Amino acid sequence: MRPSVRKSVFAGIAGLSLAGTVAGCAPSAAEGTPAAPGGNAAETSAATPSGGTSSLASSGSTYKDGTYSADGNYVSPNGTETVGVELTLAGDTVTGVNITQHPSNPNTRKFQGQFAGGIAAQIVGKNIDELNVSKVAGSSLTSGGFNQAVDKIKQEAQ
């Protein structure tokens, strides 16, 4: 495939991935409804790749292209909480994100939903090494779990 065609195909795939992410993070998640079925899935302790290396990887990349997921923990007033993070990487750049909520109570559901609804706008298109979110859509504690999950994903993707 010619490089210009490859870039066009990749841009289309990345756009579809973002559209799917945004659709999965609809306002209903912020209103207390889990973003996806299985939102209370068991916690994983390490990142797990579901993609692998792509022919689109540039020779200067630090991380392997693919889709990786991990859970991160953080402490809220209600105790330890968990948030699931799935990132798609291409050339060390985040091309897609999906958040899996693991709420233990209504407040956690509310804040993880707000976080899920706003995270894509802050990280898609950025280099994974530049990610360190602190507050997203009014949710500040969920960021700690997100950042922890990103660290796991970076280790796995190297």
The pLDDT tens digits for 33-87 are 333 333 333 333 334 444 444 434 445 789 999 999 999 999 999 899 999 999 9
Taken in order 148, 149, 150, 154, the sign of the CA dihedral is positive
Question: From CA 121, how far away is CA 29, in angstroms rounded?
Answer: 16
* Tokens (6 digits) for 57: 């990887």
Taken in order 18, 86, 137, 122, the sign of the CA dihedral is negative
Query: pTM higher than 0.85, yes or no?
Result: no
Domain count, the chain: 1
Q: What does the pLDDT read at residue 60?
A: 75
Instruction: Give me the domain span that covers residue 12.
Output: 3-157
Tell me the pLDDT tens digit for each residue of 4-16: 434 444 444 444 4
Question: From CA 1, how far away is CA 7, in angstroms rounded?
Answer: 10
DSSP-derived letter for residue 35 is S
Question: From CA 105, how far away is CA 140, in angstroms rounded?
Answer: 17
